[in-house]
């Protein structure tokens, strides 16, 4: 949510340009709500984006367009078309963007991006607009991008990106050096009420019911892995998460489709489901999975699929002994959200004492205590309750709540049988075991 948006022509041009690129914006007076979906949420604008008289719009959009896997065309009024854009075009070309322009790098610009790589670029003169353009491009590049200014310029963009989870390193001596890397994962975990999901397991009926139920409870959705596996609709669930979740961490079933050799430790039903899944996910699905990080940490919040101590080994946290050991691995005041066991739970280490807290009501997180929160499973619950599970986290109120919602599991069961997946994967949905 953006409050106090200026009514000037530059802001209106940027607003319209973002709408053209598929960004969901809603304006009420000076307040604008933005439903961000990450880089995958942009769409190709046809035929051209008119930046009006706004050089700011053109320069900043150039940085974004350079990282998108299609061609974006930018133009403006007579005045803007007579302003050279070489100061942004030149470094963006060095990063791998293909840009055509009139002689002298005057607009209109046609920018084909999608394959950027990080560079170290020394700016010939200080400019907040050029720096911002390159920072935005750097977020969408492989590797780190370093921008070196001969003098300090305004740092509004750095402040904003840091707030939204970008990893920035700044050194103001002797020159202003800004390094951006590892992409932008918008995790305003101290400000927005969140829906946290896990273990969807290609169950589109359960996922649809959860998203509908949670629509008014949270402002942003995160997923803790295993979107796929076991169920009959892996591609549909991946597509839904591309739309609803700006961040999904890697699960063991995503790892298994990327590295089939690890299925040697899977049971026969899970192994068959993995190989079936590899034949039912497609180009964009594979790209999405490959981009999942193993874990994500921001502030005192940790998101992962399985366990803290060895997340890459996919150990289950079932016993009190293992849960307590992982709680002791946390620092005071840290909260870790996880899944993997398909059984929701809230576990606490307070005053050096381990406890399992009741989840039939909202749990208040106490300052200084350590928490492990298992958000349960959307698509294959195993705690004796067949209803889909999800978690609502309110970082301002410092509360978590486990929610349950019914769905048409019989339809999912029929689809599993029709897909010739193991019958056990269907039968267990009605018992939640």
Domain termination residue (choose one: 181, 208, 242): 181
Neighbours of 83 (CB within 10 A): 13
For residues 146 and 200, membership in a common domain is answered with no
CB 30 within 8 A of CB 5: yes
Residues 166 and 187: their CA atoms lie apart, in Å, by 9
Domain finish residue from 133, 155, 181? 181
Same domain, 148 and 220: no
> Measured at the alpha carbon of residue 302, what is the angle toward residues 247 and 352, in degrees to the nearest 5?
160
Tell me if 337 sits within 8 A of 224, measured CB to CB.
yes
Is 82 part of any domain? yes
CA torsion, points 375, 378, 381, 385, in degrees to nearest 10? 90
Q: Are 207 and 378 in contact (CB under 8 A)?
A: yes
Same-domain check for residues 265 and 370: yes
On the question of a cis peptide bond just before residue 174, with omega within 30 degrees of 0, the verdict is yes
pLDDT at 317: 97
- Report the DSSP beta bridge partners of residue 178: 147, 170
Taking the complete model, does pTM exceed 0.85, yes or no?
A: no
Per-residue pLDDT, 139 = 85
Q: Give the chain's length.
A: 433
Domain residues for 67?
A: 9-181
The one-digit pLDDT tens for each residue of the chain (433 residues) are 787 778 888 888 899 999 999 888 888 887 888 876 677 778 898 889 999 999 999 999 999 999 998 999 999 999 999 999 999 999 999 999 999 999 999 999 999 987 888 888 999 999 999 999 999 998 888 877 888 888 888 888 887 876 666 667 777 665 656 666 544 444 444 457 899 999 999 999 999 999 999 988 887 789 999 999 999 999 999 999 988 887 899 999 999 999 999 999 999 999 999 999 999 999 989 999 998 999 988 778 999 999 999 999 999 999 999 999 999 999 999 999 999 999 999 999 999 999 999 999 999 999 999 999 999 999 999 999 999 999 999 988 999 999 999 999 999 999 999 999 999 999 999 999 9
Instruction: Please give the pLDDT value at position 186.
Output: 41
Assess if residue 2 is contained within a domain. no
SS3 355: strand
Q: Which two tokens stand for residue 201?
A: 């397991």
Closest CA to 316 of 377, 368, 269, 365: 377
Q: Are residues 173 and 252 in the same domain?
A: no
Pair (37, 125) in one structural domain? yes
pLDDT of residue 335: 96
- Quote the distance between the C-alpha of residue 116 and its chain's center: 19
Same domain, 157 and 253: no
Q: Is residue 425 part of a domain?
A: yes
Considering the domain architecture, whether residues 199 and 161 belong to the same structural domain is answered as: no
DSSP secondary structure, 134-191, as one string: HHHHHHTSBS-EEEEESS----HHHHHHHHTT-EEEEE-SSSEEEEEES------TTT
The answer to whether residue 114 is domain-embedded is yes
Q: Does residue 123 sit in helix, strand or coil?
A: coil
Q: Do 200 and 148 reside in the same domain of the chain?
A: no
- Of the residues 181, 214, 234, which one is the last residue of a structural domain? 181
CATH number at residue 292: 3.60.21.10
Q: Give the per-residue pLDDT at 328.
A: 96
Identify whether 187 is part of a domain.
Answer: no
Exposure pattern of 385-399 as b/e (b: 16+ CB <10 Å)? ebbbbbbbbbbeeee
Domain identity same for 177 and 238: no
Q: In what order do the strands lie in the sheet with 194-197?
A: 247-248, 220-223, 194-197, 388-394, 399-405, 363-364
Residues 95/96/98/102 CA torsion (nearest 10 deg):
30
198 plus 177 within the same structural domain: no
Distant-in-sequence, close-in-space partners of 17: CB < 8 Å, separation ≥ 6: 45, 49, 50, 51, 57, 61
Domain contains 56: yes
Q: Has residue 188 been placed in a domain?
A: no
Q: Counting beta carbons within 10 angstroms of the beta carbon of residue 72, is it exposed (0 to 12), middle (13 to 18) or buried (19 or more)?
A: buried
Are 125 and 206 members of one domain?
A: no
CB 202 within 8 Å of CB 161: no
DSSP notation for 270-282 = HHHHHHHHHTS--
Residue 64 included in any domain: yes
Tokens of 362: 């909202």
Whether 37 and 168 map to the same domain: the answer is yes
CATH number of the CATH domain containing 124: 3.65.10.10
Count of domains observed in the chain: 2
Q: How far apart are CA 125 and CA 238, in angstroms?
A: 44
């Amino acid at each position: 949510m953006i409050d106090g948006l200026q009514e000037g022509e530059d802001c209106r041009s940027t607003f319209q340009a973002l709408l053209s690129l598929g960004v969901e914006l809603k304006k009420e007076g000076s307040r604008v709500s933005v439903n961000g979906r990450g880089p995958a949420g942009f769409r190709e604008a046809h035929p051209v984006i008119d930046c009006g008289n706004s050089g700011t719009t053109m320069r900043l959009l150039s940085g974004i367009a350079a990282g998108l896997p299609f061609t974006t065309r930018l133009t403006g009024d007579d005045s803007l078309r007579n302003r050279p854009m070489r100061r942004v075009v030149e470094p963006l070309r060095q990063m791998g963007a293909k840009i055509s322009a009139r002689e002298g790098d005057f607009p209109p610009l046609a920018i084909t991006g999608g394959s950027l790589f990080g560079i170290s670029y020394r700016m010939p003169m200080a400019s907040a607009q050029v720096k911002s353009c390159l920072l935005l491009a750097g977020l969408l590049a492989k590797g780190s991008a370093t921008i070196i200014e001969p003098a300090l310029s305004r740092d509004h963009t750095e402040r904003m990106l840091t707030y939204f989870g970008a990893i920035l390193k700044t050194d103001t001596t002797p020159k202003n050096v800004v390094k951006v890397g590892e992409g932008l994962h918008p995790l305003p975990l101290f400000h927005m009420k969140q829906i946290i999901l896990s273990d969807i397991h290609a169950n589109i009926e359960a996922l649809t019911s959860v998203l509908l139920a949670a629509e008014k409870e949270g402002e942003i959705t995160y997923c803790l892995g295993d979107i796929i596996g076991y169920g009959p609709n892996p591609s549909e669930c991946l597509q839904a998460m591309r739309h609803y979740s700006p961040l999904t961490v890697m699960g063991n079933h995503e790892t298994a489709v990327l590295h089939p050799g690890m299925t040697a430790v899977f049971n026969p039903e899970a192994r068959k489901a993995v190989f079936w899944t590899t034949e039912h996910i497609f180009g964009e699905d594979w790209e999405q999975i490959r981009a999942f990080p193993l874990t994500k940490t921001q502030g005192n919040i940790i998101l992962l699929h399985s366990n803290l101590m060895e997340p890459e080994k996919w150990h289950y946290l079932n016993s009190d002994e293992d849960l307590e050991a992982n709680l002791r691995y946390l620092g005071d005041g840290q909260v870790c959200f996880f899944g993997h066991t398909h059984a929701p739970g809230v576990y606490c280490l307070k005053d050096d004492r381990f406890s399992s807290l009741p989840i039939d009501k909202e749990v208040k997180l106490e300052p200084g205590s350590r928490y492990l929160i298992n958000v349960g499973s959307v698509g294959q619950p195993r705690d004796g309750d067949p209803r889909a599970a999800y978690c609502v986290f309110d970082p301002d109120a410092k509360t978590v709540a486990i929610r349950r919602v019914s769905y048409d599991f019989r339809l999912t069961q029929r689809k599993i049988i029709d897909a010739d997946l193991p019958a056990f994967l269907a039968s267990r949905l009605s018992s939640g075991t």
